[in-house]
Amino acid sequence: MSSQQQIESSHQIELTVGSTQYSIHYHDCGSGENVVVMLHGSGPGTTAWANFNGNITPLTDAGYRVILMDCPGWGKSSPLVCQTSRSDLNATILMALLDELAIGKVDLVGNSMGGHVAVAFTLAYPEIVNKLVLMGGGTGGKSLFQPTPAEGIKRLQKVYREPTLENLRAMMDIFVFDPSALTEDMLEARLAAIQAYPEHLQNFVRSQSLYPAQFPDVNHRLAEIACPTLIVWGREDQFVPLDIGFRLVAGIPHAELHVFNHCGHWVQWEKRTRFNNLLLNFLLPE
């Protein structure tokens, strides 16, 4: 979608959750009756738009309304020091947003951290979720085949602590399978987005120090997810290893798994056209 569409779809809303008020930024695209909510990952400087701008138009062209929420601690949403499960908190905030928008049923698409939030939301509000899509995330726990934390997570943490172009490039070199597709303009734009909100970086590091289990392991509850679920992974993901995807497809009763070969942690960008087709085919009524 164009930069003009990005501006036109942008909204800011004040939400009260418990006794806390949050200023939440989101995009609202399309006008269909069926709603798709897309939840971004935890990378420094990311936003829902940055994560998914290449995946919105196929959905709106197919008649869907698409909501992209920036979780607190990212983009234009409120700064946050999180001393509890961030997955559960973000799910609660998403529910407050849907209530304000009078949306009663959604399809959920969660990327990385967004996958954790999507699972937490589905467990808390199962009656709201029609279909669930998880990409490179959804539950915690250690990989059986790779050291924890994964190399990608180590590099991500370094960017949060030392947000330089050199450290960003080192992270992005293994974020995707083929880093030659990443231009200098893309890296510089991402660095500018990181540097625009230094408080977000500081708060993320502090949150992990105060409450290490920001994205808890919910493997023991996966069987409670009753909705149809599509799990999508990159074969060469160096941030969240593929065997976590196997754990999800084994635990969720009505789940299917699609693995893209020669693909890292950014499936919706690296395999955009094929991912968009896969997503649309899954979301269409059976």
| Percent of the chain at pLDDT exceeding 90 | 94
Domain harbouring 218, CATH code: 3.40.50.1820
**pLDDT mean across residues, the chain:** 96
pLDDT, tens digit (0-9, with 9 covering 90-100), for 132-183: 999 999 999 889 888 989 999 999 999 999 999 999 999 999 999 999 999 9
Can you state the angle between helices 198-210 and 151-161, rounded to 10 degrees? 120
Confidence at residue 67, expressed as pLDDT on a 0 to 100 scale: 98
Kindly report the three-state secondary structure assignment for every residue of 13-74: EEEEECCEEEEEEEEEECCCCCEEEEECCCCCCCCHHHHHCCCHHHHHHCCCEEEEECCCCC
Averaged pLDDT, 198-218: 96
Averaged pLDDT, 71-76: 98
- Catalytic amino acids? 265
- pTM for the full model? 0.97
pLDDT, tens digit (0-9, with 9 covering 90-100), for 4-36: 889 899 999 999 998 999 999 999 999 999 999
User: Which residues touch 119 (CB under 8 Å, ≥6 apart)?
Assistant: 87, 110, 132, 134, 138, 139, 218, 222, 225
Confidence class for position 2, pLDDT limits 50, 70, 90: confident
Averaged pLDDT, 174-201: 96
Residue span of the structural domain in which 217 resides: 3-283
| Percent of the chain at pLDDT exceeding 70 | 100
Higher pLDDT, 147 or 108: 108
Confidence class for position 285, pLDDT limits 50, 70, 90: confident
Q: How many domains does the chain divide into?
A: 1
Confidence at residue 286, expressed as pLDDT on a 0 to 100 scale: 72
pLDDT, tens digit (0-9, with 9 covering 90-100), for 34-64: 999 999 999 999 999 999 999 999 999 999 9
Confidence at residue 59, expressed as pLDDT on a 0 to 100 scale: 97
| CB neighbours of residue 43 within 10 Å | 26
